[in-house]
Structure 1
Amino acid sequence: MSHSWETIVEVITEVHTEVATAEIALWTLGVSAALVVGSVLIPRARQWRDDDSVRLRWSSVRVAAMAAALVILGVQVSASGWLTGADVATYDWFLTHRDPTLTVAAKGLTTVGGPLGVSAVTALAALVLGWRRRGFVAASAVLGIVTVAFTASSLTKLAVARERPPQVARLVPEDNYSFPSGHVTAITALAGALLLVYALGRPTRARIAVAVTLAVTVVTTVGATRLYLGVHWLTDVVGGVILGVTVVCAAMVPLCWSTSTRARLTGTPPPTPISVANHGSDAEAVSTRPIPAASAYARRTRPGPSRRAATRRQLPVYICHPVGIRSSRAG
């Protein structure tokens, strides 16, 4: 145990003493990116697609990878490491491209994407979700994700304690710390929460693509306004995106524990366990497996008109009833 603690202390010391080098940061970010991609692709494989335990493990891996990326970025920011090299150049570029019309638009958008605006949109979205889905599980999920994102952003600001850009260039008043951007964290969490609830309803791929594009556009626009108004550095915006996505990914983990939780979130009936008789057995041993709906299974297994008479004496007849499907022999 003491050896493990010494190893942890040594790693933290190395991070602090070599924070200006690219080696640790590049390896951490590279491994994190690979784990995130793997956590998305591997559970989609055919042999694991319906395995809740696989989804749970890889969802946890995804959260850990995103958290590691956020930590390494926070360490780099607190020590002005090499990852902050583009901050000044980006800041200067936005200063030289200011325009009165753009300033008015940026102030309006940053107000909508601020704490009050995001809170209002979140409350409205929760009401709509609760009404349309006849339940408050989806609404509670959205409210919880945004609330956790706000809290995590405030705590991270206190931990990193990064100063904002110079006061003279700010177009809106801000008096707290800079990293990560609270506006970007909140809007990312809100967009991700709504996208998560929408995706669990199993829409078409085209609709998913449109929803993802819309979410990315909204987050990018709010992030650009924070840079334009001179209240954040580039790494503040990137950190806000990572933190918001991390919170959404963490919220996905409980959904992998049971299919009933996902069903309550989406407002759809949970899978119904049914009993299917194994043919060729005198005792008719019964095996159970979940299906999306018992009625759909009955329709798929019902013989067609031309074969119904021929199969009546050979196969059991499947009869739907409120709790599932029972098997009986046709006389």
Structure 2
Amino acid sequence: MLLFAKLSEDLINDELKLFDQIVIHVINLIHGPLTTQIMKGITSMGSPAVMLFLAVLVWIYFLLAKKHFWDSNMVLIALTGSWIMNELLKWIFQRSRPDIARMVQVTGYSFPSGHAMVSFAFYGMLAYLTWINLTKRKTKVFCTGILLLLICAIGISRIYLGVHYPSDVLAGFAAGGFWLVGCILGLQAIRYYRSNI
């Protein structure tokens, strides 16, 4: 949350321009037709429709197959809560999107990145549930690593496609991480309470 507060302060004081320009320049070095198609595919994994579909599948799995009522519900809470929080933050800051050529159609404000924030909370919760529910260490490390890499890739794709500043993505990760920690602590508290009644 401190990172998000710092980024918010820098945004208000117009101190993020140099950071954004440097990162955008570096990412522009990898531009190409194939890279663009890959980035479009990656960014789709952070779209509301895809994450909602995956959330419903995970919810059904944990509720019916694993009999974990709160694990399943916390996936939906992580997703919907971060989305609502993102809409509120965008309304507060009202930062316009980058004035550059965009490779995908977008609407709304830019700060913080919704794809970055919600994917961090959602896929981060999946990574946590994967870690605590799988038994084989190698499998846990592999699955968790894939999910964390996906989160990072979604953030990079938003910059690459020209729809967000790097600081938007970083702020999205920070805010999404804050919400994720809250969800994890809430789930741990529920598990502790249920184990002691």
TM-score, normalised with respect to structure 2:
0.88
Between 203-212 and 149-158, report the one with greater CA deviation.
Answer: 203-212
Counterpart Cα distance in 2 of 1:121 and 1:79: 39
1:182 to 114, 124, 127: 114
Q: Which runs of 4+ in 1 moved over 4 A?
A: 258-261
Q: Which residue in 2 is equivalent to 1:126?
A: 59
Partner-residue secondary structure (3-state), 1:171: coil
1:5 paired residue number: none
Q: Which letter does structure 1 place at the counterpart of 2:5?
A: V
Given the alignment of the two structures, is residue 214 of structure 1 paired with residue 134 of structure 2, yes or no? no
| SS of residue matched to 1:85 | helix
User: Match of 1:68, as an amino acid?
Assistant: L
Larger radius of gyration: 1
Where 1:190 maps in the other structure, the secondary structure is: helix
**Which residue is equivalent to 1:71?**
5
Q: Distance in 2 between matches of 1:240 and 1:150?
A: 11
**Mapping of residues 71-110 of structure 1, within 5 Å:** 71-81=5-15, 83-110=16-43
Aligned CA RMSD, in angstroms, stands at: 2.2
Question: Please, which runs of 5 or more residues in structure 2 have no aligned partner?
Answer: none
Q: Which residue of 1 aligns with 2:88?
A: 155
> Deviation of residue 85 (structure 1)?
2.6
Q: Which residue of 2 aligns with 1:225?
A: 157
Superposition pairs for residues 1-331 of structure 1, below 5 Å?
67-81=1-15, 83-166=16-99, 168-201=100-133, 203-257=135-189, 259-261=191-193, 270=195
Task: Report if aligned partners of 2:124, 2:148 keep a CA contact under 8 Å in 1.
Answer: no
Tell me which protein shows more helix as a share of its residues: 2
In structure 2, how many angstroms separate the alpha carbons of the residues matched to 1:255 and 1:106? 33
| 3-state DSSP of counterpart to 1:177 | coil
Q: Is the 8 A contact 2:96 2:110 kept in 1?
A: yes
Asked if the contact 1:78–1:162 (Cα under 8 Å) also holds between the matched residues in 2, the reply is: no
For 1:256 and 1:131, the matched residues in 2 are separated by 21
User: Identity of paired residues, percent?
Assistant: 23
User: Which SS does the other structure have where 2:181 is aligned?
Assistant: helix
Answer 1 or 2: which has greater strand percent: 1
Q: What letter corresponds to residue 154 of structure 1 in structure 2?
A: E
- Pairs aligned (count): 197
Is the Cα–Cα contact under 8 Å of residues 95 and 230 in structure 1 kept in the other structure?
no
CA distance in 1, matches of 2:81, 2:191: 24
Return the offset for 1:259.
4.4
* Amino acid paired to 2:7: L
